[in-house]
Amino acid sequence: MKNIVRAFVIALTLTGAVASAHTVKTNSENVKPTLLAGFPTPMCPPNDPNACGMGGNK
Amino acid sequence: MNGTLITNSIAIGEIILCVVALSCLLLRKQGRQYKVLCLLIGFRGLFDVALLPLYMFGGYGIEKHLAYRLYFYGFWSGYAIESLLGLWLIYSVFNLAMAPLQGLKKLGRLVFCWAAGISLAVALFSALTPHLTQMSFIVNFVSQLERTQSVLTLCLLLFVTFAIRPMGLTFSSRVFGVSLGLGMQATSQLVSAAWTAHFQGMYTTINAATGIASCVILLLWTTYFALPEPKRRIVVLPTTSPFLRWNQISQALGDEPGFVAVGGIPPELFAPAELEIMRRASIKMADQPKVVMPQSQTA
């Protein structure tokens, strides 16, 4: 049990490190933070003509 | 089942899970000990409730451009506040974990404050780019803050996992549960930040995936607080333990030093009783025959 938890934590950390390295390599203008929330992250500028697709489904 | 329906269900599900997790924390009377976690979950719940009408009725009851603008500013302001609450939560979890080792706790707090201060400063200055716009400032500041906060969180999780025995904790302890949830959140944020570069729009796979991850973390915290916590073990460390040694060293660090007078003291500073003791002692020493040390010892 102890080893499984430790392996899981190490896997989490390594995944985070790889993702962070990938983010740094990618052009910073393309990278946008994502809030870990149930609501979608608004990824377009506030004056987007399509309102980022909001209400498009209605 | 289309993407919008999934996203809407996740959004409503998160609000319900926030209420359940917060109720569980308060019913278990953990509100005082985990007050920052309560604040974070409560804030997220309120933030979700405020955004829900904009999100659900944007383009239907409310003009969609206005709804999106309000949603955009509300979302990013809430995110910045949540990032700061996240930093505070890491600090409070570290304090709870290190409660038995007061010296190391003091040292760790000092290191943490410096790391958090530098993170904030780096996030702020990296957001000040030459062609500064409102959008770029918010996004750069928040992304940098999020990245440093995620790294700090993963460091905390690694520390709690590998130093769990000297802290008297087990993997069923709530401190570990909260750290694990925070670590999962940090990893998901880092992965999704790398992934978002390929997406544009609101109803994307990445948004659904982050929503599901957020709900899983809330469920994890609810489970840890719903189940009874095992008692913290008595911390027994071998005398050679580096934790014990560093704890002793850290406890001595920063203490006010004592002072010793080495010379040039006027006799008026002493009390008459002290002067009398010194006088008698010097008479006694003068009366004693001088001990001649052997040559080998004096050399």
Residue of B70, B77, B149, B154 to mutate for A, most A C-beta atoms under 10 A: B154
Residue A25 pLDDT? 64
Number of H helices, E strands in chain A: 1, 0
Q: Do A38 and B11 touch (CB under 8 A)?
A: yes
**Is B150:B186 a contact under the CB 8 Å cutoff?**
yes
Tell me the shortest Cα–Cα distance from A3 to chain B, in angstroms: 10
Instruction: Give the residue on A whose Cα is nearest the Cα of B49.
Output: A39
Q: Which residues of A touch B73 (CB under 8 A)?
A: 46
Interval A1-37: pLDDT, tens: 888 888 988 898 888 888 877 776 665 555 455 555 6
Phi then psi dihedrals of residue B17, to 5 deg: -65, -35
Between residues 9 and 48 of chain A, which touch chain B (CB distance below 8 Å)?
9-10, 12-13, 15-17, 19-20, 22-23, 26-28, 30-48
Residue A38 has pLDDT above 70, yes or no: no
Between residues 42 and 61 of chain B, which touch chain A (CB distance below 8 Å)?
44, 47-48, 51, 55, 58-60
Profile chain B (299 residues) by mean pLDDT over runs of 10 residues. 72 90 90 91 90 76 81 83 86 86 83 85 78 72 80 86 82 90 88 72 74 90 90 79 80 72 76 87 80 52
Which among A32, A44, A51 has CB closest to B59? Answer: A51
Tell me the ipTM for this assembly: 0.75
Residue B198 pLDDT? 65
pTM over 0.90: no
Q: Among B196, B33, B45, which Cα is nearest to A38's?
A: B45
Phi then psi dihedrals of residue B62, to 5 deg: -115, 145
Residue B299 pLDDT? 42
Which among A27, A30, A36 has CB closest to B189? Answer: A36
Q: Around Cβ B172, how many Cβ atoms within 10 Å?
A: 12
Look up residue B171 and give its DSSP letter: T
Which among B14, B68, B217 has CB closest to A48? Answer: B68
Q: Which residues of A touch B162 (CB under 8 A)?
A: 6
Structure tokens at A46: 């506030």
Look up residue A26 and give its DSSP letter: S
Residue B21 pLDDT? 92
